[in-house]
Structure 1
Amino acid sequence: MTLSCIAVDDEPLALGLVCAFIEKTPFLQLAGRYSSAVEALEGLLSGPPVNVVFLDIQMPDLTGLELARVLERSNRGAHTTRIVFTTAFDQFALDGFRVDALDYLLKPFNYEEFLRAASKARQYFDLVQRTEPVPAAQVLAAPNEIADDHLFLKVEYQLVRIAYNDILYIEGLKDYVKVYRQSEPDKPLLSLTSLKGLEEKLPANQFMRVHRSFIISLQRISAFTRNSVQIGSVVIPVSDQYKDVFGQFIARWL
């Protein structure tokens, strides 16, 4: 697919370079160039949808991070518009991750580095296109063909498909979660999301929250007491807040 792009930078040379890179890339289409984030915001809100914004961070009036937060809150920023930051300052990398940027290009960057970021954007939109919700008529016509056995989790700058039956347990770490998997138990996936948000996405008949910091896969329980759950060699505490619900569950096993 061809991605519609704009470039935003208050430095004319940097803006010209990004635009030249966009025009050089076969699967990108330059839809606009802006020397300020305010102008870019007006164009994004009033014009046709844009897939990718190549966005400088340090700009007067409205910074790139501020523009990214506006887009994140808007409906248009939910799926159709994604950010690739272009900046000379590496201290903004974590901020870029927090506003769900696809990538972070550190100036000066060459075309090879730009192309890697652009390819990451193409992979993201190809994945979104393949996993769009199935029309209701199709669901009614063939309900047995619709599988609901996985979720997609944002890990670094890509979406990773995780099968429910591969999850051992999930640990919450402030603004992040760690997902431990059967397939690679020593390589947990780290994602910038909340444990509560992830809990709402998981099927309640397969997963249970047993602690403010832990969600477990019920099918992976190898041993338990009223105060703890063992999954493999890992012992996870059951906090007082969740003991009643967990107790009702294990009562079925006794």
Structure 2
Amino acid sequence: MTLSCIAVDDEPLALGLVCAFIDKTPFLALNGRFSSAVEALQHLLQHAVDLIFLDIQMPDLTGLELARVLERSNRGGHTTRIIFTTAFDQFALEGFRVDALDYLLKPFNYEEFLRASSKARHYFELIHRPNPTPVTLPLPATVETPEDYLFLKVEYQLVRIAYNDILYIEGLKDYVKVYRQSDPDRPILSLTSLKSLEEKLPPRRFMRVHRSYIIALDHISAVTKNSVQIGLVVIPVSEQYKDVFGQFISRWV
């Protein structure tokens, strides 16, 4: 599969480098290069493009503003995705808010560029894959039910997470970190709110104990009046949730 793409950057050297990387990548085809987001928008309104390598800090129209315009515009149902390129890492979260596929921090090398581009190719291969003919099979006795797991949006895909693998969940403003028993040192990052996630989790297995924490009840190793311990991690219980938590731990006594 070959992806048609454009590069947008107001810095000539940066624009030239991205275009050189595109030309070097067999599954990318350069459809245009632009030094401003306004010029790129004019092109996009007339041409279908799969992928945009887009700088963020630009005059007249920033990369984030262009991304929001593209989200709102109806361009015949064609899916155009964005990989941001910028020298400022503080834009990373904002980039994922507009559903960017990836985020390249300048200066980046070809290996980093290729990794992000390969992610884009994988995305388009998934959405263009034909649906197989459904086959009805008998369910095994140990089949998982929707009550055993949830799906979280992680970057451009939905990731299935088993409830019994979740240790605890930390809320960080606009996204959450899900800590798992299978890989406790590498939490899953998802752009959602803790409140939204709390509504999806079964209350018999999970409890919110703090404005920033949801815990898995099955993984509690110790409790005090003001905290709960999961493995080596001690999580505070805030005043707002003490009554409910106290009712739970009263069953332990």
Same fold (TM over 0.5): yes
C-alpha distance after superposition, 1:63-95 (max 9, x if no partner): 22332344466788xx944322334xx3x1221
What are the within-5 Å matches in structure 2 for residues 54-203 of structure 1?
A: 54-71=53-70, 80-87=79-86, 90=87, 92-100=88-96, 101=100, 102-107=102-107, 111-125=110-124, 148=146, 149-152=149-152, 154=154, 162-190=161-189, 193-203=192-202
CA distance in 2, matches of 1:43, 1:247: 61
Question: Which residue of structure 2 lines up, in the alignment, with residue 212 of structure 1?
Answer: 211
Structure 1 letter corresponding to 2:30: L
CA distance in 2, matches of 1:35, 1:127: 31
C-alpha distance after superposition, 1:177-231 (max 9, x if no partner): 3332212334444555532344345444533322101111132234456754332
SS of equivalent to 2:22: helix
Question: Which residue of structure 2 lines up, in the alignment, with residue 30 of structure 1?
Answer: 30
CA distance in 2, matches of 1:10, 1:201: 44
SS of equivalent to 1:99: helix
Report the CA distance between 1:12 and its aligned residue: 5.3
Instruction: Describe the shift of the 1:58–1:243 C-alpha distance in structure 2 as closer, same or farther (beyond 3 A).
Output: closer
CA distance in 2, matches of 1:248, 1:117: 48
For structure 2, the 5+ residue unaligned runs are: none
Report the CA distance between 1:61 and its aligned residue: 0.8
Whether the 8 Å contact between 1:65 and 1:96 is mirrored in structure 2 is no
Between 202-211 and 161-170, the greater mean CA deviation after superposition: 202-211
Whether the 8 Å contact between 1:72 and 1:99 is mirrored in structure 2 is no
CA distance in 2, matches of 1:75, 1:166: 40
Report the CA distance between 1:54 and its aligned residue: 0.4
Instruction: Describe the shift of the 1:205–1:5 C-alpha distance in structure 2 as closer, same or farther (beyond 3 A).
Output: farther
Query: Which structure shows the higher helix fraction?
Result: 1
CA distance in 2, matches of 1:126, 1:206: 37
Report the CA distance between 1:119 and its aligned residue: 1.9
Instruction: Describe the shift of the 1:233–1:118 C-alpha distance in structure 2 as closer, same or farther (beyond 3 A).
Output: closer
Tell me how large the CA RMSD over aligned residues is. 4.3
CA distance in 2, matches of 1:200, 1:80: 31
CA distance in 1, matches of 2:2, 2:247: 53
For structure 1, the 5+ residue unaligned runs are: none
Report the TM-score, using the length of structure 2 for normalisation. Answer: 0.69
Whether the 8 Å contact between 1:34 and 1:40 is mirrored in structure 2 is yes
**Identity between Structure 1 and Structure 2 (%):** 73
CA distance in 2, matches of 1:206, 1:116: 38
Structure 2 letter corresponding to 1:212: R
